[in-house]
Amino acid sequence: MRRLGNAFVSCQKFFIEFLISEGVIAREKGDVVKREARRIIDVALTNPIKKEEWKRIKELLDKDELILEEALELRELARKVA
């Protein structure tokens, strides 16, 4: 699980560095986002959330639109992660 978390953070850092290099966001803001990505993963790895719940979070986040029930479900899952 730790390796998966590190892979996620590395991916996020790469994307942020790309946005900085293209002038989309300022370096200071990019640094904040990278630190936040690391913090979220550190919290998530200490949280005993089930694999199925992570999968459901991904499914919901991949949708373009959510119905009210899905939005509420995502909120509850996010609370478990945070």
- Per-residue pLDDT tens for 34-57? 888 888 777 767 767 888 998 999
What mean pLDDT comes out for the span 14-22? 90
Domain ranges of the chain: 1-46, 49-82
Whether 73 and 56 have beta carbons less than 8 Å apart is answered as yes
How far does the chain reach from its first CA to its final CA, in angstroms? 17
Write the CB contacts of 45 (distance below 8 Å, at least 6 apart in sequence). Answer: 1, 2, 5
Encoding tokens for residue 19?
């946005």
Supply the pTM of this predicted model.
0.49
Provide the pLDDT for residue 70. 94
Rounded Cα–Cα distance for residues 10 and 34 (Å): 9
Provide the pLDDT for residue 49. 80
